[in-house]
């Protein structure tokens, strides 16, 4: 007969626990504990409280900040899970010194930190600077799109949301008619109390939705984008945006990080309800303020290198980098099509029509006309037009020549196009930043520098989203979401201090 180790559930065990000894040097929990106690000024929270003479004692903000930071680092994003950990996990017990704040206290603390969070982030950034973790020579900018506490079902333009309300009201009317019909009948399955109760609850739920939309429409107008056109609103969180990510379309925020290349420290983080196109300016301004707060010069970015992907390429972004005297490398959307090493890869990956290019059209200098591959002539239509700082001359074919042409599929990109029009670059506007950026990116040095971008910034998002499992936002509104994202960035930077800080006193 098999023998097993003896055990007895009625056995009593007395375990002496020292909170201090649970926080072992060299661990993340010890780093958080030491930083919050010794290097972060939490007196900024004192104005919140008015209980020095009367009222109940409050939880120390240090305790709350410690358990939130450590909870987030373990993927415990909901406040209820942090509350549970403070009751069941000995490390959380040590950080909270045996106190057990409830989930409402934790949630209220996090969501109300919009005025304090940037100061806390800068305190951690100052330690990074003191420990020599900032190289201060090159930076990379990127963002990750995170789902927030907002439903895509409540997204649309004002007219679309009104139609949604009308459909809900129509459904309510149908259910009320069914209810009236049921009341008038003497018998039937629908007379069962459970069926009637279920229908009544459904009617109440739909009426509440319709009333909520009606109230929202009274308080909110159309949401206007950067181009002056209406963009989609969201009833649950109108500051969030519908974003396209590698994981599909989400309703959430674009979490941005500007990262120093030396040890991948985040020098500024911010969440936006829009795409990357307009975000170079606010991210650089935020980073400048942070670096000035930790003792750096106002012209901190002068002569430094910045890399960002093509989503950030815009005339305003290039202008901002030029004003800051940054050596920026931000490619346009077509930079790979100009790079010979990507040509073979594109042919292997995509089955696409090999269309005619500008070099396939022969130019007659005497008549200033172009001859197409089918022998038809394209005449001058526009002598000069400017797009993105490049000066073009435009030539167009005759509609009749293109209508029955057998090579039309290789020539016209759009199915409804009537004739071929080619744009020939003939020069550039003086001081054209777009053209200068293209030339810089296409150079050997530009390709080498830009290729370093991924190694600088992508590991930051891998650490935050995958390793630390901080891959979603649970709050609503830009201010609250920004608090949560900066907490994520703080945890990342604390990990860098723990890993690379040579002189930090974790003993």
What CATH number does residue 266 fall under?
A: 3.30.420
- The residue among 111 and 192 whose pLDDT is bigger is 111
What is the mean predicted confidence (pLDDT) over 327-335?
90
User: Do 261 and 330 fall into the same domain?
Assistant: yes
- Is 389 a member of any domain? yes
Highest-scoring range by mean pLDDT, 174-178, 331-335, 442-446: 442-446
Highest-scoring range by mean pLDDT, 230-234, 350-354, 481-485: 481-485
Q: Is the pLDDT of residue 36 over 70?
A: yes
User: Do 83 and 193 fall into the same domain?
Assistant: no
User: Do 176 and 212 fall into the same domain?
Assistant: yes
What is the mean predicted confidence (pLDDT) over 107-130?
94
User: Do 52 and 175 fall into the same domain?
Assistant: no
User: Do 285 and 323 fall into the same domain?
Assistant: yes
Q: How many domains does the chain have?
A: 4
pLDDT (tens digit per residue) in 236-253: 888 888 888 877 888 899
User: Do 142 and 248 fall into the same domain?
Assistant: yes
Give the model's pLDDT for residue 151. Answer: 82
Residue pair 325/303 in contact by the 8 Å Cβ criterion: yes
- Structural domain that includes position 292: 135-146+244-336+438-478
User: Do 142 and 268 fall into the same domain?
Assistant: yes
User: Do 401 and 280 fall into the same domain?
Assistant: no
User: Do 59 and 178 fall into the same domain?
Assistant: no
Cα–Cα separations (whole angstroms), residue 378 to 364, 411, 416, 420: 10, 13, 19, 8
How many whole angstroms separate alpha carbon 186 and alpha carbon 462? 64
How many whole angstroms separate alpha carbon 461 and alpha carbon 440? 27
Q: Is the pLDDT of residue 507 over 50?
A: no
Q: Is the pLDDT of residue 347 over 60?
A: no
User: Do 425 and 445 fall into the same domain?
Assistant: no
- Is 152 a member of any domain? no
Give the model's pLDDT for residue 102. Answer: 94
Structure-token pair, residue 407: 């090579």
H-type helices in 404-452, by residue range?
Answer: 408-411, 433-442, 444-450
Which of 271-275, 375-379, 387-391 is predicted with the least confidence, judged by mean pLDDT? Answer: 387-391
Residue pair 131/503 in contact by the 8 Å Cβ criterion: yes
Which of 2-6, 44-48, 266-270, 413-417 is predicted with the least confidence, judged by mean pLDDT? Answer: 413-417
- Is 72 a member of any domain? yes
User: Do 26 and 141 fall into the same domain?
Assistant: no
What is the mean predicted confidence (pLDDT) over 178-186?
69
- Is 27 a member of any domain? yes
Give the model's pLDDT for residue 439. Answer: 86
Q: Is the pLDDT of residue 80 over 70?
A: yes
pLDDT (tens digit per residue) in 134-143: 999 999 999 9
Q: Is the pLDDT of residue 226 over 50?
A: yes
What is the mean predicted confidence (pLDDT) over 176-194?
65
User: Do 384 and 447 fall into the same domain?
Assistant: no
What is the mean predicted confidence (pLDDT) over 21-41?
92
* Residue 247 neighbours by CB distance under 10 Å: 10
How many whole angstroms separate alpha carbon 470 and alpha carbon 487? 10
């Amino acid at each position: 007969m098999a023998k097993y180790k003896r055990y007895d559930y009625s056995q009593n065990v007395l375990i002496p626990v020292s909170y201090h000894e649970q926080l072992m040097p060299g661990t993340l929990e010890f780093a958080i504990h030491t930083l919050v106690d010794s290097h972060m000024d939490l007196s900024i929270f004192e104005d919140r409280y008015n209980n020095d003479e009367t009222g109940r004692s409050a939880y120390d903000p240090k305790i709350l900040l410690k358990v939130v930071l450590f909870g987030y680092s373990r993927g415990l994003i909901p406040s209820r899970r942090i509350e549970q950990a403070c009751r069941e996990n000995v490390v959380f017990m040590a950080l909270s010194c045996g106190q057990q704040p409830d989930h409402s206290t934790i949630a209220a603390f996090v969501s109300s930190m919009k005025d304090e969070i940037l100061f806390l982030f800068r305190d951690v950034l100052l330690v990074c600077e003191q420990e020599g973790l900032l190289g201060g020579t090159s930076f990379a900018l990127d963002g990750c799109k995170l789902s927030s506490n907002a439903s895509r079902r409540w997204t649309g333009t004002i007219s679309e949301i009104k139609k949604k309300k009308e459909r809900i009201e129509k459904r309510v009317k149908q259910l009320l008619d069914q209810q009236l019909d049921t009341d008038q009948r003497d018998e039937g399955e629908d007379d069962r109390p459970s069926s009637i109760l279920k229908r009544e609850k459904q009617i109440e739920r739909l009426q509440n939705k319709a009333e909520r939309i009606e109230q929202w429409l009274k308080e909110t107008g159309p949401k206007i984008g950067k181009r002056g056109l209406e963009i989609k609103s969201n009833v649950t969180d109108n500051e969030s945006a519908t974003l396209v990510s590698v994981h599909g379309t989400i309703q959430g925020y674009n979490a941005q990080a500007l990262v120093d290349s030396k040890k991948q420290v985040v020098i500024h983080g911010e969440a936006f309800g829009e795409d990357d196109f307009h975000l170079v300016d606010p991210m650089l301004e935020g980073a400048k303020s942070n670096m000035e707060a930790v003792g750096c010069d106002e012209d901190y970015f002068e002569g430094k290198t910045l890399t960002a992907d093509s989503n950030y390429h815009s005339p305003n972004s290039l202008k901002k980098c030029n004003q800051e005297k940054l050596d920026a490398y931000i490619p346009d959307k077509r930079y790979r099509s100009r790079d010979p090493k990507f040509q073979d890869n594109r042919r292997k990956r995509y089955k696409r029509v090999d269309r005619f290019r500008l070099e396939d059209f022969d130019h007659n200098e005497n008549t200033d006309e172009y001859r197409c591959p089918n022998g038809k002539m394209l005449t001058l239509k526009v002598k000069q037009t400017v797009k993105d700082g490049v000066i073009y001359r435009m030539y167009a074919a005759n509609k009749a020549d293109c209508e029955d042409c057998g090579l039309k599929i290789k020539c016209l990109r759009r199915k409804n196009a009537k004739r071929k029009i080619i744009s020939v670059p003939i020069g550039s506007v003086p001081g054209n930043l777009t053209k200068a950026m293209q030339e810089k990116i296409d150079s050997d040095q530009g390709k080498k520098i830009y290729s370093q971008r991924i190694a600088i910034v992508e590991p930051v998002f891998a650490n935050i989203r995958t390793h630390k499992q901080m891959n979603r936002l649970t709050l609503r509104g830009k201010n609250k979401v920004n608090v949560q994202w900066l907490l994520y960035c703080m945890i990342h930077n604390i990990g860098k201090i723990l890993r690379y800080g040579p002189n930090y006193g974790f003993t």
